[in-house]
Amino acid sequence: MTGSSQGSTRSLLDRAGGPSRVRSIVDRLRGPLGDSRQPGGRHTLLAVCPISKPIAQAALRAAQEANAPLLYAATLNQVDRDGGYTDWTPSSFAAFVEQETERLEIDIPVILGLDHGGPWKKDAHVLQDLSYSETLAAVKRSLVACIEAGYELLHLDPTVDRRLPPHTPVPVDDIVTRTVELLAFAEATRRDLGRGPIAYEVGTEEVGGGLQSEERFRTFLNRLDAALQSHDLPAPCFVVGDVGTTLDTAHFNRVRARRLTAEAEANLGALLKGHYTDAVADLSAYPLSGMGGANVGPGLSATKVRALQDLVQLEQNLDADSHFSEALRTAVVDSDRWRKWLRPAEEGLPFDALSPDRQDWLIETGSRYVWSHPDVQAARDTLYEHVAPYRDARAFVRWRIKTDVLRYVHAFNLIDFNDRLEEALANQ
């Protein structure tokens, strides 16, 4: 983000690129993040998915309090030209972040990024049964919108091909060719628009992406590096790797993370980035394993649900009822997007046939799809009105989310990272 509200650290980042800004802002963060010789050792950049306004606001407040940089990683499901499920377009999201940084006097580096930009990575493209050429064209239009809005990190992820039989991974050479095509398009677009350098993220953690095998991961890196060099294109700053995480488990494979980190650095000079970090138990293992970045999102939506349920309990003690819990449940179930997260044994079952624990989990993680639903918003507003004499509900919800974000910031060794970043950049 390049607004005037950005303070001393962001200004120093801009100056560190030199008068021609030959390096992206994320690229200049990469060295201090990954250099174990720096004071404080390795660090893991936190990327927050902007699932709703309170989550985006809480992340800003947490990063400012911690004196740490903040990366927003917005999927095309969340933020896109059609508004996504947040009702934000890339430009309106950028404007919101700009307004909040000014209102809250934020003076930390705030970076806008795209997550999983690739064919059929947007649910609507699958539901509309778009052809490859149609979904690719839609993705390219979204890339233009992101670059126009000032995004500075683009995750290019062409690891899905619905033309192949189910569970068939895309050939590595095809992933490389399509990644290069998207990156070349983004580079041409940003030059045409007169934008400065931007950074890239490649690869995927998704099982269907076919990069789970360490041999295929290494082959992808080697062939991508050669292809980028032959096309005179910049190397990515981040490579997404499968480090054993899923949305609903606490597992993190630190041994595998160390190996993939070494591969990413050796083959592309890139940092390893993890997705599905939300439920991981040992978050401190990320910087200790050399992970350069990690995404969180659905877990913060679950935190928001639990905060609202506490307000529902207070409301009930006041003999009032907004029917918020019922509105949220109905919206999640009616969305049908909970089906994406069913386990194999649960496929085909109606929602009510699932175990109570699974229903609760699916409502919490599926809440991110329906925060902008009119019925959910109306019930939430009524809930806030009912508890207003006893609780500032909006502040309470933001505080709960901020507290959760700070848990990641602390574990990722980012407290006062901006001070170390300034020192490192000043010495360049």
What pLDDT was estimated at residue 41?
56
Within its chain, how far is the Cα of 129 from the centroid? 25
Within its chain, how far is the Cα of 374 from the centroid? 25
What pLDDT was estimated at residue 20?
38
DSSP 325-375: HHHHHHHHHHH-GGGGG--GGGTT--GGGS-HHHHHHHHHHHGGGTTT-HH
d(CA 286, CA 291): 5
Map out the domains of the chain as residue ranges: 8-296+413-426, 301-401
d(CA 158, CA 160): 6
Type and span of the H or E element at 156: strand 153-156
The DSSP letter of residue 5 is T
- Average pLDDT along the chain, 428 residues, taken 10 residues at a time: 46 48 77 63 92 97 97 98 96 97 94 97 96 98 98 96 89 96 98 95 75 86 97 96 89 94 93 94 94 96 98 97 98 95 93 96 97 98 97 97 98 93 73
Distances, alpha carbon 265 to alpha carbons 27, 159, 221, 268, in Å: 13, 21, 10, 6
Instruction: Pick left, alpha or beta for residue 193 (phi over 0 → left; psi -120 to 50 → alpha; otherwise beta).
Output: alpha
- Read off the tokens for 15: 């100056």
Are the C-beta atoms of 283 and 262 separated by less than 8 Å?
Answer: no
Q: Residue 70: how many CB atoms within 10 A of its CB?
A: 28
Q: Residue 112: how many CB atoms within 10 A of its CB?
A: 25
DSSP 283-339: TTHHHHTT--EEEE-HHHHHHHHHHHHHHHHHHHHTT----HHHHHHHHHHHH-GGG
Are the C-beta atoms of 69 and 63 separated by less than 8 Å?
Answer: yes
Closest of 267, 201, 187, 191 to residue 233, by C-alpha: 187
238-240 and 153-156: which strand pairing? unpaired
Instruction: Name the CATH code of domain 8-296+413-426 (choices 3.40.50.1360, 3.20.20.60, 3.20.20.70, 3.40.470.10).
Output: 3.20.20.70
d(CA 377, CA 274): 32
pLDDT tens sequence across 149-204: 999 999 999 999 999 998 888 999 999 999 999 999 999 999 999 999 999 999 98
Are the C-beta atoms of 78 and 112 separated by less than 8 Å?
Answer: no
What angle separates helix 324-335 from helix 374-387, to the nearest 10 degrees?
160
What pLDDT was estimated at residue 391?
93
pTM for the full model?
Answer: 0.92
What pLDDT was estimated at residue 210?
60
d(CA 292, CA 280): 16
Are the C-beta atoms of 234 and 187 separated by less than 8 Å?
Answer: yes
Are the C-beta atoms of 1 and 106 separated by less than 8 Å?
Answer: no
Angle at 144 between CA 141 and CA 149, to 5 degrees: 130
What pLDDT was estimated at residue 281?
93
